[in-house]
Amino acid sequence: MASATVHDHAHDHDHHGPGPWTRIFTTTNHKDIGSMYLWFSLLMFFVGGAMALLIRAELFQPGLQVVQPEVFNSLTTVHALVMIFGAVMPAFVGFANWLIPLQIGAADMAFPRLNNWSFWLMIPATILLMGSFFVPGGAAASGWTLYPPLSTQGGIGVDMTIIAIHILGASSIMGSINIITTILNLRAPGMTLMRMPMFVWTWLITAYLIIAVMPVLAGCITMLLTDRHFGTSFFNAAGGGDPTMFMHIFWFFGHPEVYILILPAFGIMSQIIPTFSRKPLFGYASMVYATASIAILSFIVWGHHMFTVGMPAAGQLFFMYATMLIAVPTGVKIFNWIATMWRGSISFETPMLFAIGFLCMFTLGGFSGLVLSIVPVDITLHNTYYVVAHFHYVLFPGAIWALMAGVYFWLPKWTGRMYNETLGKWHFWLSAIAFNVTFFPQHFLGLAGMPRRIPDYALQFAEWNMISTVGAFALGFSQLLFVYNVVSCIRSGAKAKERQWESADSLEWTHLPSPVPYHTFETPPDLRVAKAAH
């Protein structure tokens, strides 16, 4: 360990090479690129959040007060696209960049230049997506699912969105190729597959999901593009096509996408919970198998997004059974995490608070998912606020809290400085309360029959909407605490220990100083004996 430090200092010359701007554009260092991904996604998180607050401001009261209905539709559409493709996915790729080489004992990612390119591709894509608000006809306003024929009606903003998704998809595919190659080829001697930290495992599986489904999305939106401009009729009944086919293809991508957003979060949880329970992860092997089962099942459940298209009973029943089945491996994961805490020695630093919050809220989101898997119940709740509540329960405290927990957890390692623990706890508790005030009432709205994606609503929905909006603003603004905490940690945090969390046992904690040097593991650590001791 000590020798590694000395070794790295000897090679520290890259810091003094290119100037800061050249470095940003040309860097091939996984830590630089990881940080760039994380900062980018943080920015996009606030852009998407601002759109969400505009949506909630309009829904504060019945009537039209803040935005025109078509702008409202664009906001719901782009809010989703920004959060999925601009915030959550890049943030996980940022974590992958930072952590995978460190956790498997590799010097860098397998394809460093590809890595640089997959980051920089996101910038023109984002400019296209955000720029679509300012072109004639406005941004895409058909919901993020872009169902035709509605999406064939829009102006050039829809084309810009399609191209943006194409580019983001290409970026994700390149990132995934990089991740898979790195994990399969660059592991240190002794780092067998079944000794990899869970974060690495979940990303390996996620990367395969991305490679499998992103091209499907690309094909789907390309057909949409040619329907719009080149006279094809893939999705136009008048020309022999079928709008339902778009939904099938879209959701064949869309459902695995849900797991692309959550599996790496499972990985982060599986590292944080054991660390603060001071106990190894319960059922490591079954966690790996459960993750793989979830990924495989995710390919055969897409029909549950479209029970109301009028598919035959056999189709509805198949997709219902398959969807319910996902509850089994997901349940196994929840039980394993609880069993990890069982007979542990738990402390409640900020990452652990977020992890426990994740467990509670994700379980609730799982229940509403189970309710929605039941076809007849889904039919009465489809496209209502119940669905909105459900997926925000799995994505906000699921994906976003896992990311925040991860940032708090690894900041000491990345920066060599500690964040402010009190502020972190405030951030958690404010987020937890505000999140539930925002989204719990939306279950009631959905049960009472309020459709989603409407800018205005009947009077019976007024009370819960008002409460939800109040919660949304509290939730949005409490995230500023996070930014403040991260920035002040980087600038003036107290010095962090090499092994800030004494039970953390992946390589970045056991083999590397804090902050991690610019170059690490140029000679891979030999883990054939050493790791067995843990």
Partner 1 sequence: MKFMNAKFPEYAVASWVRYAIAGIAVLLSPALALASYDVNIAQPASTIAAQIYGLHMYILYFCAAIFVVVFALMFYSIFKFRHSKGAKPDVNFHESTFIEIIWTIIPFFILLFMAIPATKTVLDMKDTSNPDLTIKATGYQWGWRYDYAAEDLGFYSNLATPWSQIGQPGEPATEAKGKDYLLEVDHPLVVPVGKRVRMLITSNDVIHGWYVPQLGINQYGIPGFIKDVWFRADRVGTFKGQCSQICGKLHGYMPITVVVKSDADYAKWVEESKAKWGNKSTPLVAAPGTAAQEPDPEGPLLLADLKSRGEKVYATNCVACHQATGKGMPPAFPALSGSKVVLGPVDGQINLLLNGKPGTAMASFARLSDLEIAAVMTYTKNSWDNNVGKAVQPADIKAQRKS
Under rule CB under 8 A, which residues in 163-222 are in contact with partner 1?
none
**Closer to partner 1 by Cβ: residue 181 or 236:** 236
Q: How far is the CB of 442 from partner 1 (least distance, A)?
A: 11
Question: Mask: binding to partner 1, 127-166, rule CB under 8 A, as x and -?
Answer: ---------xxx--xxx---x-xx-xxxx-----------
Question: Mask: binding to partner 1, 89-128, rule CB under 8 A, as x and -?
Answer: ----------------------------------------
Residue entry with tokens 């279950």: 443
Q: Both tokens of residue 346?
A: 């738990």
Q: 105 in the Ramachandran plot: left (φ > 0), alpha (ψ -120 to 50) or beta? A: left
Q: How far is the CB of 193 from partner 1 (least distance, A)?
A: 18
Residue among 18, 102, 75, 162 at smallest CA distance from 519: 102
Contacts of 408 (CB under 8 A, 6+ apart): 349, 350, 351, 354, 419, 424
Say if CB 362 and CB 393 are below 8 A apart.
yes
**Closer to partner 1 by Cβ: residue 148 or 416:** 148
Q: What angle is formed at CA 171 by the lines to CA 74 and CA 389, rounded to 5 degrees?
A: 40
Known active-site residue 270: yes
Say if CB 446 and CB 388 are below 8 A apart.
yes
If binding is defined by CB under 8 A, does position 491 make contact with partner 1? no
Contacts of 13 (CB under 8 A, 6+ apart): none
Backbone angles phi, psi at 187, to 5 degrees: -70, 145
Of 259, 337, 386, 509, the catalytic one is 259
**Closer to partner 1 by Cβ: residue 199 or 464:** 464
Residue among 509, 377, 477, 463 at smallest CA distance from 105: 509
Cα 396 versus chain centre, distance = 9
The secondary structure of 441-503 as a DSSP string is HHHHHHHTTPBSS-SS--GGGHHHHHHHHHHHHHHHHHHHHHHHHHHHHHHHPPBPPTTSSTT
Known active-site residue 511: no
Say if CB 469 and CB 57 are below 8 A apart.
yes
Q: Which stretch binds partner 1 (CB under 8 A): 31-39, 252-260, 330-338, 411-419?
A: 330-338
If binding is defined by CB under 8 A, does position 421 make contact with partner 1? no
If binding is defined by CB under 8 A, does position 429 make contact with partner 1? no
Of 27, 270, 415, 431, the catalytic one is 270
Known active-site residue 452: yes
Backbone angles phi, psi at 111, to 5 degrees: -125, 85
Say if CB 195 and CB 101 are below 8 A apart.
no
Q: Which of 26, 192, 226, 347 binds partner 1 (CB under 8 A)?
A: 347
Q: Which stretch binds partner 1 (CB under 8 A): 168-176, 337-345, 479-487, 507-515?
A: 337-345
**Closer to partner 1 by Cβ: residue 354 or 464:** 464
**Closer to partner 1 by Cβ: residue 328 or 480:** 328
If binding is defined by CB under 8 A, does position 501 make contact with partner 1? no
Q: How far is the CB of 457 from partner 1 (least distance, A)?
A: 7
Q: Which stretch binds partner 1 (CB under 8 A): 108-116, 124-132, 339-347, 524-532?
A: 339-347
Of 159, 257, 349, 378, the catalytic one is 257
The secondary structure of 110-122 as a DSSP string is S-HHHHHHHHHHH
Q: How far is the CB of 156 from partner 1 (least distance, A)?
A: 10
Q: Which stretch binds partner 1 (CB under 8 A): 96-104, 216-224, 262-270, 358-366?
A: 358-366
Known active-site residue 151: no
For partner 1, the binding residues in 28-67 under the rule CB under 8 A are: 62-67
Q: How far is the CB of 414 from partner 1 (least distance, A)?
A: 25
Q: Which stretch binds partner 1 (CB under 8 A): 178-186, 198-206, 276-284, 518-526?
A: 276-284
- Number of chain residues interacting with partner 1 (CB under 8 A): 103
If binding is defined by CB under 8 A, does position 270 make contact with partner 1? no
Known active-site residue 323: no
d(CA 81, CA 142): 12
If binding is defined by CB under 8 A, does position 453 make contact with partner 1? yes
Known active-site residue 333: yes
If binding is defined by CB under 8 A, does position 313 make contact with partner 1? yes
Cα 7 versus chain centre, distance = 36
Known active-site residue 8: no
Q: How far is CA 165 from CA 87, 146, 157, 169, 519, in A?
A: 14, 11, 12, 6, 33
**Closer to partner 1 by Cβ: residue 43 or 334:** 334
Q: How far is the CB of 315 from partner 1 (least distance, A)?
A: 10
The secondary structure of 202-252 as a DSSP string is HHHHHHHHHHHHHHHHHHHHHHHHHHHHS---TT-GGGT--HHHHHHHHHH
If binding is defined by CB under 8 A, does position 231 make contact with partner 1? no
d(CA 327, CA 26): 44
Q: Which stretch binds partner 1 (CB under 8 A): 108-116, 166-174, 216-224, 341-349?
A: 341-349
Known active-site residue 11: no
Known active-site residue 390: no
Three-class SS state of 417:
strand
Known active-site residue 526: no
d(CA 69, CA 59): 11
Q: Counting every residue, how long is the chain?
A: 534
**Closer to partner 1 by Cβ: residue 24 or 370:** 370
**Closer to partner 1 by Cβ: residue 210 or 247:** 247
Known active-site residue 519: no
Known active-site residue 349: no
Q: How far is the CB of 413 from partner 1 (least distance, A)?
A: 21
Residue entry with tokens 């900062």: 39
Known active-site residue 330: yes
Q: Which residues are tagged catalytic?
A: 79, 108, 144, 171-172, 255, 257, 259, 270, 304-305, 330, 333, 452
